[in-house]
Chain A
C-alpha cells in the first residue's frame, strides 16, 4: 500500500496532489488525485469522493472542475480516483472508449477476462477509503460521494448499496438506469454476463426500490442540452420516478442550455460541494 507522490501543487492554501499506488483489488498501479484543504494541516477532515465519467483519468476533474476554492472553504478532502484499471494487458481493453480502460463502470466484474482486474466497486468503496484514511488526515466517519455521467452512476450505486456509509450523494448528468441504456447494456453484459438479474445490483433506479428508510439527500444536476440525455443514455426520469415512489428525497435540476461537458460541472460544482458540506460538516 505504499504511496508514491507524483505531483503536489499548492492551491487555495491547500495542496492538490497526485499519488500512485499498487492496488490489491485491481492488481495494477492506480493513480488518484487528492486535494488537502488548509484545514487538513491541523485536523481531520471529511472526505468527498469524486467518480469521473467515461474515458476520464484522475486528471480531468482536478484540472477542470475548479472545486478547490469551495473545498478549501468547507475544509473537505476531495479524492478523485481513476475510472478503471490500466495496463492490465487484457485483450480488447483498449478497443472502445466506452468499455474496458477508462470505462470500469464501478462494478465488480464477474466475467472473464475482466473479473481479475475490473473490481472498481470494491476499489472505490473499500480499498481506496482504507488507503485514504490510513495515509491522510481523514475523518473515517465522514464521507460522501459524487460523480459525473458514468461516475454519477457510480456515486449513486455506491451510496444506494451502502446505506449510511456515505453522508450524502450528488451527481452531474448521471447514468441513472444503465440496464436500459446502450452504454450500460454493453458494459454490464461484458463485465457481468448476460444474466440481467445480476445487473440490478448495479442499477441505481433498481437499487432505489429496495433502499431502506435511511436518510439520503440526493442532488442531481442535468444539462438540458445534453446530447446523451436526448440519446437516452442517462434516463434520469426513471430514477426520479422510482425515488418519488419510495419517497427518497431528490432535487433534480434541469439546467437550461447546459450540455454534458466539464463546463457544466464547473458551473454547478459549488452547489454540490455545499450540498455535501452541509452533511459532512454537520
Chain B
C-alpha cells in the first residue's frame, strides 16, 4: 500500500514530473496489457470498437502529459477494462486470471489520480490522445520487465478485490475474446476474428450481446404465451369443476324429485288396494250370510213337510170319525202350510259384481311425475351500470332452479316519491327471454320492476321488486357563458334533468381544419357540479360535449359548444355596468347612450360602477396568460385595462392601486394616451392611434401589456405583481361604442 500511494503523485499531470514518470514507468502498461499473446487474441475489429467507445472518456480526462505519460494513461484505461472483462468470464484460464489480479492495482491508482486530472481537461488533447494510442503497442517494454513489476504488485496489492470493486465504474460490457459476436447466418457465436478471416467471413453478424438479447426476448415471449395458456387451462379446469358440481346438484335434485313422486304413487296404490280388499270381503260375508239364512229356512220347511206327512199317515190309520175330525184339522194345517209356500228363489245374486277399479287419481299422480311443476318466483337482477339510456332500461332476471318457463310477465311502474295519491300506472309485458329492454320511459326516473314466470302448470309468485333508473337527459351547455383563455376554459351547463344526477362527463374533441371527424380526444369524468374548468392547449378549437351520468348510465351527448383557445373569451358583467352603459345582446359590445350622469347617490351594495362609466368583464379565474382585444374608435375617449374585483365602484379607473388602464383622450385632433395606475402615468406618445387594442395579462411574469393589434406594436407594459385575480375593465368617457 505504501508503494501504491507513493506512486500516485507520479501520475499527476505536473509537467515537471512528466519525464520522470515516463522514465520509471513506461513499461507499466505492459503489465496491464499483457503484450504478445494477448495482442494476438485481440481481434482488430474489437480494438477499433473499443477505441470509439473510449474516445469521449479520453477527451474528458486526457491530461497535459508528455506522450509517454499519455500512453500510460490510456493503457491504464485499458487495464481497467481488462479487469472487468475477466471478472465476468468464469471459464477464463487460470493462467490469465493470475495475471488479472495484478492489473487490479491500476484502477486503484486511477482513483487517486482522477480528480486531479479532471481539473485540467481540455478537448484539444483529444486528438493527441488518439494518436498516442496508436503507438502504444510498440511503445511497451519487454516481457521481463513487466514480470518483475508484476511480482512487486502482487506483493503490495494484497488481493483485495472488494477494494477494487469500489472503483469500478461500469463503462461498457465487452465480451470475452473467445466468442464476442454472433453469426446470424450460422446461428452460432463466433469470434470477431472469424468474421473477418475465418469461415464466417462476410456472414451477417451481430454483437453476441444483441444476439443473446434477441434470443432471450424470443424465449420470454414464448414463456408469456405458455403462461397465458396455463392460465387459460386453469380457468377452463375450474370451469369444468363448476359444471361438474352443477350437474351433480341438478341430477341429485331430480332424483329426489322422482323418488318423492314414486313413493307417493306407491302409497296411493297400496291404500286403494286395502280399500278394495275390505269392500270385497264385506260383500262376500254379506252374501254368504244371506244364503245361509235361506238354507236354514229351507230345512225348517222340509221338517214341517215331513211332520205333516207323518201326521197325515197317522190320520189315515185312524177311525173314521176321528179321521174325519183329524182330517179337517189336517186339511187346515195343510192349507196353511201350503200357503206359506217356500220361496225357492235365491235371495242373493250369486254373481260377482263387476267392480271397476278407479285409477284416475293414480294416473294423475303418474302424470305429475313427468309434467313440470309450476315455476318458482324468478330472481330479478339489480340494474347493470351503464345499461340504460334516457328512455329505456334493460331488465334482466333469472330462475332459481331448472324450472321450465314458457313465458315471463314483466311489470313495472314509476317509483312514486312521496306522492302516494298520485296515480301510478302499471305496465306489463310478456317476454319469452329472461331479459327485456323497456322503452318509452322518462329519463332520469326510477322504475320498479317485478317479474313472474309461468308455464302450463301455473304461474310463479312475483319476484322481488327491483328499482331501475333511466339514464339522464343530456345537459344543456350554456354556451354563452363559456369563459376561456389560451390554456383553459370554464364550461358550465344546465343539468337538463329534474332529479339530481350522479356526475357529469365532459368530452373534448379538437376541431381540425381537415374536419377529420369528431374524435373525442379527451374525457373528463366524475364532475359533480354543473361547471368545470378544463385544461386546453393554446391556439386550438375544441368541441365540447357534456353527458350526465347516473346509475343507469350516461346520457346522450349534449349539443356541442365550440371553444377557441386563441386569446381569452369572456363576457361583460352586466351587474357592474354603469347605468349609462348598455351591453349588446352578445355580451361583447358596450354602448354609452347619450345622457347626463345621474347625480343620484348610489346604494352601498351596488355592484355597478357609478362615477366612472365603466363595466367589468368576467375573466376565467385562472392565473397564467390572458389576452383579449378591444376595438376602439380613434375619436373616442376610453379606458381599457384591468381592476381587482373589489375595486371601488365610485372611483375612476387607474386612479388608485386597484386598477391599471390605458386611457385615451382625444382633443382637437390630438390623441393623448395615458397608462394609468395610482393616478399616475408615464409620458408616452403614440404616433399611430390604435383601432384595436390588444391586452396581454400575464400573471406569471407580473405583466400587463398593451398592443396596437393591427401593426403588432407594443405600446406599454405595467410590471406589477398581481396577487389576486383581476378582471377586465372598460370605460367610456364619452358616448360611443366599445367592442
B-contact 0/1 string along A248-279, CB 8 Å cutoff:
11111111100000000000000000010010
- Chain B nearest CB from A149 CB (Å) reads 19
Cβ-neighbour of B682 out of A217, A244, A254 (below 8 A): A254
Interface contact B715-A217, CB-CB below 8 Å: no
A64 interfacial contact with B, CB 8 Å: no
B682 contact set on A, CB distance < 8 A: 253-256
- Residue B125 interfacial (CB < 8 Å): no
Is A215 in the interface zone, CB < 8 Å from B? yes
Closest beta carbon of chain B to A208's beta carbon, Å: 9
- Chain A 215-252, CB within 8 Å of chain B: the 1/0 string? 10101000010000000000000001001100111111
Number of B interface residues in the complex (CB < 8 A): 14
From A250, which residue of chain B is reached at the shortest CB distance? B687
B711-A215 in contact (CB<8A): yes
Chain A residues near B716: list those with CB within 8 A: 251, 253
Main secondary structure of the interface of A (DSSP, over half): mixed
B714 touches A278 (CB 8 A): yes
Closest to A274 in B: B714
How far is A106 from B223 in the complex, measured between Cα atoms in Å? Answer: 81
**Closest A residue by C-beta to B717:** A271
Instruction: Tell me whether A249 and B683 are in contact (CB under 8 A).
Output: no
Q: Which residues of A contact B711 (CB under 8 A)?
A: 215, 217, 249
CB contacts (< 8 Å) of A275 on chain B: these are 714
**B687 engages A240 (CB within 8 Å):** yes
Query: CB within 8 A of A254: which of B683, B686, B715?
Result: B683
Q: When chains A and B are docked, how far (Å) is the Cα of A217 from the Cα of B688? A: 11
B558 sits at the interface (CB 8 A): no
Pick from B686, B708, B714: contact of A252, CB below 8 A: B686
Residues of A within 8 A of B96 (CB): none
Query: Could you tell me how many residues of chain A have their Cβ less than 8 Å away from some Cβ of chain B?
Result: 19
Min C-beta distance of A143 to chain B, whole Å:
19
What is the minimal beta-carbon distance from B635 to any residue of chain A, in angstroms?
Answer: 15
CB 8 Å contact bits of B703-728 with A (1 = contact, 0 = none) = 00000100111111000000000000
Contact A250 B684 (CB under 8 A): no
Report if B457 contacts A (CB, 8 A). Answer: no
Interface pair B713/A251, CB less than 8 Å apart: yes
Task: Give chain A interface residues in 14-62, CB to chain B under 8 Å.
Answer: none
Whether the pair B683, A244 counts as a contact (CB closer than 8 A) is no
A246 to chain B: closest residue by CB: B687
Q: How far is the CA of A150 from the CA of B145 in the complex (A)?
A: 78
Complex-state Cα separation, A249 to B686, whole angstroms:
7
Distance, CA A250 to CA B684, complexed state (A): 10
- Cβ of A244: which chain B residues have Cβ within 8 Å of it? 687-688
Interchain nearest-CB distance for B283 vs A (Å): 128
- Chain B residues with CB under 8 A of A253: 682-684, 716
Verify if B523 is at the interface (C-beta below 8 Å from A). no
B161 at the interface (CB under 8 A from A): no
Once bound together, how far apart are the Cα atoms of A248 and B688, in whole Å? 6
CB distance from B738 to the nearest CB of A (A): 22
B456 at interface by CB-CB < 8 Å: no
Residues 673 to 714 of chain B near chain A (Cβ within 8 Å): 682-688, 708, 711-714
A13 to B684, CA, bound (A): 36
With a cutoff of 8 Å between Cβ atoms, the chain A residues found around residue B712 in the complex are: 217
> What residues of B have a CB within 8 angstroms of the CB of A256 in the complex?
682-683
Q: Do the beta carbons of A248 and B687 come within 8 Å of each other? A: yes
Q: Are B684 and A252 in contact (CB under 8 A)?
A: yes
Identify the closest chain A residue to B715 (Cβ).
Answer: A251
Quick one: which of B684, B685, B687, B688 has the most chain A CB within 10 A? B687
Give the complex CA separation of A255 and B688 in angstroms: 20
Cβ-defined contact, B708 with A250, below 8 A = no
What B residues does A219 contact at CB under 8 A? 714
Cβ–Cβ < 8 Å partners of A250 in chain B: 685-688
Q: Is the CB of B687 within 8 A of A249?
A: yes
Given contacts A249-B708, A249-B711, contact A224 B688 (CB under 8 A): no
- Whether A249 pairs with B713 at a CB distance below 8 angstroms is yes
Interface residues as binary, B137-167 with A (CB distance below 8 Å gives 1, 0 otherwise): 0000000000000000000000000000000
Are B714 and A251 within 8 A (Cβ)?
yes
Please name all residues of chain B whose beta carbon is closer than 8 Å to the beta carbon of A251 when the two chains form the complex: 684-686, 713-716
Return chain B residues, CB-CB under 8 Å to A254: 682-685
Residue of B nearest to A278 (CB): B714
Which 7 pairs of residues, A with B, have the shortest CB-CB distance?
Answer: A254-B683, A243-B687, A252-B685, A244-B687, A250-B687, A249-B688, A249-B713
Question: Would you give 11 A-B contacts (Cβ < 8 Å), ordered by A?
Answer: A217-B711, A244-B688, A249-B708, A250-B685, A250-B686, A250-B687, A250-B688, A252-B684, A254-B685, A256-B682, A256-B683
Chain A: residues with CB nearer than 8 A to chain B? 215, 217, 219, 224, 240, 243-244, 247-256, 275, 278
